[in-house]
Structure 1
């Protein structure tokens, strides 16, 4: 993804930006004090290339966060929450989000929620989550009297714990397996009695 304030980039420039963002996620996850020069080295580009694409370290971090939230927004859409059966959509969206969060944990943990673009993307994702949970409730997967705001909070907490918690006992980080476990845990607690 190109920097958020830039006009569309050529394909080679977009690949360079993607390499910088990926390298920044890896390097900063290991060393939050890493320099732009260290990020450039990990991305296989010159330091001047990073400075040309990102005016400052803050702009790089902002772009990382916005990019991660854009990917989450697209991943939720890819699960087809409006048209797929609720259980299928919930599973696919969960697996997609877990996979993105594993690869963008540093950026997402440091996202400035007061940034208008980040806030807008977060609001869009939460609205889609609420709609998917309401669809699951109307389909009988969630008890009719369950508080969907609470269900969403628990669901998001389970995703966070899945990504940031201790590794799975069997060592798996397979998003489909983790999504199945997470949804089973969620629905066992909110299924109709």
Structure 2
């Protein structure tokens, strides 16, 4: 997974320092997913670095969690930006963006949960931008006949978000992202109803 470039005091970090920071954040995600009350010492041990190294990069436990939350928000935005295309068929884009977002949500569940409830205005801006891109994709899907013409776009997007949320709740560390993506897209586009002709025949 690509990761964003960290800056301290406005200056980009050296490559080796950035690798250390990323290792600490990845360890923080693993440890805090299992125990949200885990200490900096536990995170340092999981990252394979000294506690002083963690404290040198992050002054407090809260600062570490905030950095993790901001970083995963960047990955979420990058997943959407990398998948969304105005020229590819909407169905292709829908599969691609669903899979890429699932990988971030499954791999960084603790941080994504924090990001979703964050009051940070920059994080809120990212989520609003993602929402707008999703609605635009759904409007393209409707215009090309992938979605019915009478579908309420906002309701479709809310259902789509709910499906993604549900499949990423618990026990997904070894999840088959492709299978989950197919399940989500199939449920979104087909639902659970029988053929409309069969349903009306029974009335």
What's the TM-score, normalizing by structure 1? 0.90
> Using the alignment, how far apart are the partners of 1:3 and 1:120 within structure 2?
20
Q: Is 1:20 aligned to residue 24 of structure 2?
A: yes
Pick from 37, 42, 56 the counterpart of residue 41 of structure 2.
37
| Alignment length (residue pairs) | 188
- Name the counterpart of 2:201: none
Shift of 1:3: 5.7
TM superposition shift of 1:185:
0.1
1-side partners of 2:153 and 2:162: how far apart?
14
Which ranges of structure 1 fall in alignment gaps of 5 or more residues? none
Which whole-Å CA distance do the structure 2 matches of 1:160 and 1:43 have between them? 28
RMSD of aligned residue pairs (Cα, Å): 2.1
Q: Deviations over 1:71-119 (max 9, x none)?
A: 1111112213322110000000000111110111001112242101211
Q: 1:132, CA displacement in angstroms?
A: 1.0
Distance 1:172 1:148 in 2: 32
- TM-score, normalised to structure 2, is 0.85
Deviation by residue 1:150-189 (Cα, 9 ceiling, x = unmatched): 111100000000110566xxx9712111111100000113
Q: Which residue of 2 aligns with 1:189?
A: 191
2:137 pairs, out of 105, 115, 132, with: 132
The 3 A distance-change label for structure 1 pair 6 and 61 is farther
CA distance in 2, matches of 1:4, 1:90: 36
Distance change in 2, residues 1:82/1:117 (3 Å): same
- Mapped pair 1:118 → 2:120: no
Q: 1:124 to 1:25 in 2, by over 3 A?
A: same
Q: Distance in 1 between matches of 2:9 and 2:146?
A: 42
Give how far 1:4 is off.
7.7
From the CA coordinates, give the structure whose radius of gyration is larger: 2
* Gap regions ≥5 residues in structure 2: 197-203
Counterparts in 2 of 1:6 and 1:44: CA distance versus 1, 3 Å: farther
Q: Equivalent residue for 2:181?
A: 179
Contact 2:7 2:13 in 1 (8 A): no
CA distance in 2 between counterparts of 1:24 and 1:128 reads 30
SS at structure 2 position matched to 1:117:
helix
Partner of 1:161: 166
Q: Name the counterpart of 1:49.
A: 53
Q: CA deviation at 1:6?
A: 4.9
Distance 2:36 2:65 in 1: 11
